[in-house]
């Protein structure tokens, strides 16, 4: 076990993240491992959509974007003895591994490459179903076989022990397909410190560190609700996790990069895209309610007191199925009588789809014109028209019919900018026992090493239940946006949106948790309706966290919301006017 912390630098948070990030990381402070995350759920869905007409071709896909990033730097990677771990293998990690080896040969350097496989279970679905695995939808309980659709992709989330095994065998570059985002960090940390598979607290600490840095610049002030309180920067850098032998970590950044690492920027990432107090990974279950943060120096935040317990016996499987097609038309309303114009346009559109195969139509008005506008832009609001159908032709027909309204609709009719029709991909999250997987490391010579399922597991009985907060008495109050006193971040987990709200003012915590009861959130976000809401508190972070089941339909790749992956739910919430104690705003 190394007594020195392992320094793990992220350089990608999704496929299409800043291309220069790997170059920046290599030009920055010394690190031991470089990790890149390329496979968000919506990325997998969009890639699947691209191959909807030829599903067989999907199996040949890997992220060539990473290959282009890496190739110019292979000599530096070799000279410095760096390790590189990515999930850019997507649906073909073996293919990407071979492509990297070809680039290594061209560069004339010595680097060993291996890939991780076993996550792709598409070809095994029939066998697994016949064995009794039902792949019940995690949110609805539906059985996959009841869908009557042939899935385009089915990938299980693998843990980090395959990555650790590859690094332990002397591999320099590890290419993964669908591993958990945190596995990209847990694997190198477990290898570096030679952790036992049941060192639950250390493993949990690595998962938390991985969760913080997995989304790249978000941990360094990107997409941060409090950005106006920071010095202005245009290109925030990428984070580094220094992980110690006991699993504690320090989140930092390259000293020459723009951005900031603070308790708030780290908290923002901690409450992002989680499901509650227990964070399930294939290797360990993390108890998020125990996590504590300390700012020990500028741009250095220590994460400690993390508690872990055995993982569940199952892991999530992301299944993507074709769900028809979608079109979006953007048009505009200008000037006076905006309400009446919107009402007329809506009635005309509803008439156009009546009797067609169009099964969903969503019409949204965005914004309000200003009083006495000084230019035409200020007098204009946007209207977004989105529709779905099982086949393309009705959507082409909708577009043609909409454009034919040019002389018979509202004054100022501008036509529309159109996107699509494009394939609509539905996301289906299910479970599969880890011992049903064929998780393995595959080396350059074709030899492989099996990665066993966890020897110790605990069945997950559901997120802990917490009671609703009691009322908190306050004195005088001021009507002001919630964002004056609280930060927030939101995102997507399949068809669910999550939102975490926290305050950095200890005096505000009793008031905030009382305000944000389940009923309190429903009052602030009436669009979530009467559906079940999951609420948890993280007192160490002074945060309240909600899961909003079904807000995103069948996932970000298939719903018709403008904010299809829930990233702006938090900013909507912060804009709501509430009664804030005057003393907190003084």
> In whole angstroms, what is the distance from residue 168 CA to residue 70 CA?
22
Concatenated DSSP letters of 500-546: EEE-S-GGGHHHHHHHTSHHHHHHH-GGGTTS--EEEEEGGGTEEEE
Q: C-alpha distances in angstroms, 1 versus 5, 8, 33, 452?
A: 10, 17, 17, 22
pLDDT, tens digit, 9 for 90 and up, residues 187-238? 999 999 999 999 999 999 999 999 999 999 999 999 999 999 999 999 999 9
Lowest mean pLDDT among 147-151, 189-193, 311-315: 147-151
Q: What are residue 245's phi and psi, to 5 degrees?
A: -65, -25
Q: What's the rounded mean pLDDT across residues 88-96? A: 98
Q: C-alpha distances in angstroms, 542 versus 271, 501, 516?
A: 11, 8, 12
Q: Are strands 6-12 and 33-36 parallel, antiparallel or unpaired?
A: parallel
> In whole angstroms, what is the distance from residue 503 CA to residue 496 CA?
24
Q: Quick one: pLDDT at residue 344? A: 98
Whether the predicted model's global pTM rises above the 0.85 cut: yes
Share of the chain above pLDDT 70, in %: 99
Supply angle C-alpha 28, 247, 78, rounded to 5: 35
Show the tokens assigned to 134.
């039902």
Mean pLDDT (the chain, rounded):
95
Place of tokens 């580094």: 240
Q: What's the rounded mean pLDDT across residues 368-375? A: 94
Give all domains of the chain, ordered by start, each with its CATH number. 6-119+157-311 (no CATH), 324-427 (3.30.70.100), 477-585 (no CATH)
At 586, the pLDDT band (50, 70, 90 cuts) reads confident
Q: Quick one: pLDDT at residue 122? A: 94
Q: What's the rounded mean pLDDT across residues 113-140? A: 94
Which residues, at least 6 apart from 362, have a Cβ–Cβ distance to it below 8 Å?
Answer: 384, 385, 386, 387, 560, 561
Count of C-beta atoms within a 10 Å radius of residue 506? 8
Q: Quick one: pLDDT at residue 558? A: 85
Lowest mean pLDDT among 199-213, 250-264, 352-366, 547-561: 547-561
Q: Quick one: pLDDT at residue 2? A: 66
pLDDT, tens digit, 9 for 90 and up, residues 16-66? 999 999 999 999 999 999 999 999 888 999 999 888 888 889 999 999 999
pLDDT, tens digit, 9 for 90 and up, residues 431-448? 999 999 999 999 999 999
Q: What's the rounded mean pLDDT across residues 401-415? A: 97
Lowest mean pLDDT among 113-127, 145-159, 182-196, 527-541: 145-159
Q: C-alpha distances in angstroms, 561 versus 338, 415, 423, 565?
A: 22, 21, 16, 8
Q: What's the rounded mean pLDDT across residues 485-510? A: 95
Q: Quick one: pLDDT at residue 146? A: 53
Q: Is the pLDDT of residue 148 over 60?
A: no
At 1, the pLDDT band (50, 70, 90 cuts) reads low
Question: Which uninterrupted H or E stretch holds 427?
Answer: strand 417-433
Q: C-alpha distances in angstroms, 103 versus 63, 71, 166, 172, 313?
A: 15, 6, 20, 14, 39
> In whole angstroms, what is the distance from residue 400 CA to residue 422 CA?
16
At 160, the pLDDT band (50, 70, 90 cuts) reads very high
pLDDT, tens digit, 9 for 90 and up, residues 327-369? 999 999 999 999 999 999 999 999 999 999 999 999 999 999 9
> In whole angstroms, what is the distance from residue 39 CA to residue 540 CA?
30
Q: Quick one: pLDDT at residue 90? A: 96
Judge contact between 316 and 157, C-beta under 8 A: yes
> In whole angstroms, what is the distance from residue 517 CA to residue 385 CA?
34
Judge contact between 213 and 261, C-beta under 8 A: no
- Quick one: which of 208, 219, 210 has its CA closest to 263? 219
Q: Packing angle between helix 200-213 and helix 263-270, nearest 10 degrees? A: 100
- Quick one: which of 55, 57, 166, 172 has its CA closest to 118? 166
Judge contact between 368 and 381, C-beta under 8 A: yes
Q: What's the rounded mean pLDDT across residues 475-495? A: 95
* Long-range Cβ contacts of 374-381 (<8 Å, 24+ apart): 376/334, 379/334, 379/335, 380/332, 380/333, 380/334, 381/332, 381/333, 381/334, 381/338
Q: Quick one: pLDDT at residue 216? A: 97
> In whole angstroms, what is the distance from residue 254 CA to residue 25 CA?
8
Show the tokens assigned to 497.
């949106």
Q: What's the rounded mean pLDDT across residues 248-254? A: 98
């Amino acid at each position: 076990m190394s007594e020195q912390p392992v320094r793990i630098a992220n350089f990608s948070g999704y496929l299409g993240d800043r291309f220069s990030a790997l170059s920046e990381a290599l030009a920055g402070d010394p690190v031991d491992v470089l990790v890149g995350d390329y496979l968000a759920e919506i990325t997998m869905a969009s890639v699947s959509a691209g191959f909807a007409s030829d599903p067989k071709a999907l199996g040949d896909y890997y992220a060539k974007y990473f290959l282009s990033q890496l190739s110019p730097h292979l000599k530096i990677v070799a000279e410095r003895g760096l390790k590189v771990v990515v999930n850019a293998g997507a649906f073909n990690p073996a293919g990407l591994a071979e492509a990297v080896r070809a680039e290594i040969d061209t560069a004339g350097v010595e680097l060993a490459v291996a890939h991780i496989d076993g996550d792709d279970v598409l070809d095994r679905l029939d066998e697994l179903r016949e064995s009794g695995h039902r792949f019940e939808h995690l949110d609805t309980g539906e059985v996959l076989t009841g869908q009557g659709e042939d899935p385009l992709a089915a990938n299980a989330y693998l843990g980090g022990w395959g990555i650790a095994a590859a690094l332990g065998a002397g591999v320099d570059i590890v290419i993964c397909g669908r591993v958990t985002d945190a596995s990209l960090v847990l694997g190198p940390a477990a290898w570096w410190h030679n952790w036992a598979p049941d060192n639950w607290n250390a493993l949990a600490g690595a998962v938390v560190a991985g969760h913080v840095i997995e989304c790249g610049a978000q941990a360094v002030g990107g997409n941060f609700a409090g950005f106006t309180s920071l010095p202005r920067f245009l290109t925030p850098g990428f984070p580094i996790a220094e992980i110690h032998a006991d699993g504690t970590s320090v989140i930092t950044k390259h000293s020459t990069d723009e951005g900031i690492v603070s308790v708030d920027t780290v908290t923002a990432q901690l409450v992002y895209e989680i499901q509650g107090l227990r964070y399930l990974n294939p290797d360990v279950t993390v108890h998020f309610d125990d996590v504590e943060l300390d700012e020990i120096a500028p741009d250095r935040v220590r994460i400690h007191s993390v508690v872990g317990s055995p993982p569940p016996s199952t892991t999530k499987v992301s299944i993507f199925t074709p769900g028809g097609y979608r079109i979006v038309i953007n048009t505009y309303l200008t000037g006076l009588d905006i309400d009446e114009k919107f009402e007329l346009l809506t009635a005309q559109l509803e008439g156009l789809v009546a009797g067609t195969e169009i099964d969903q139509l969503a019409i949204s008005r965005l914004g309000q014109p200003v009083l006495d506008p000084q230019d035409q832009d200020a007098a204009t609001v946007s209207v977004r028209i989105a529709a779905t159908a099982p086949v393309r032709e009705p959507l082409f027909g909708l577009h043609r019919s909409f454009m034919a309204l040019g002389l018979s609709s509202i004054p100022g009719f501008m036509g529309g900018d159109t996107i699509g029709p494009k394939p609509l991909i539905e996301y289906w999250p299910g479970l599969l026992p880890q011992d049903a997987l064929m998780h393995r490391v595959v080396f350059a010579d074709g030899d492989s090493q099996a990665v066993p399922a966890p020897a110790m597991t605990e069945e997950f009985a559901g997120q802990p239940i917490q009671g609703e907060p009691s009322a908190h008495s306050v004195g005088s109050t001021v009507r002001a946006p919630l964002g004056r006193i609280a930060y927030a971040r939101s995102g997507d987990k399949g068809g669910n949106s999550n939102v975490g709200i926290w305050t950095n003012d200890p005096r505000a915590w009793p008031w905030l948790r009382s305000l944000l009861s389940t009923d309190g959130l429903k009052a602030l976000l009436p669009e979530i309706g009467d559906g079940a809401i999951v609420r948890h508190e993280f007192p160490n972070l002074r945060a309240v966290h909600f899961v909003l089941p079904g807000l995103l339909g069948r996932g970000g790749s298939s719903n018709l919301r403008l904010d299809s992956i829930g990233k702006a739910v938090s900013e909507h919430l912060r804009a709501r006017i509430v009664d804030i104690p005057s003393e907190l705003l003084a």
